[in-house]
Amino acid sequence: VNHVTCALCDTVCTSVSSLKAHIRCRHCDERPFHCHLCDSGFKNAYDLHKHVETHNDSDAYSCDVEGCGFTSRTLRTLTQHYKRV
Does residue 12 sit in the same domain as residue 44?
no
Does residue 23 sit in the same domain as residue 37?
no
Contact 48, 35 (CB under 8 A): yes
Does residue 20 sit in the same domain as residue 37?
no
82, pLDDT greater than 90: yes
Domain count across the chain: 2
pLDDT of residue 56: 73
Does residue 71 sit in the same domain as residue 37?
yes
How many CB atoms are located within 10 Å of the residue 16 CB?
A: 10
- The CATH number given to whatever domain includes residue 5 is 3.30.160
Does residue 45 sit in the same domain as residue 57?
yes
Please give the C-alpha separations between residue 65 and each of 76, 81, 82, in angstroms, as whole numbers.
17, 11, 9
In this prediction, residues 74-81 reach a mean pLDDT of 88
CA distance 72 to 1: 43
The domain of 8 spans 1-30
Q: What's the pLDDT tens digit per position in 1-55?
A: 679 999 999 899 999 999 998 998 899 988 999 999 899 999 889 999 888 878 8
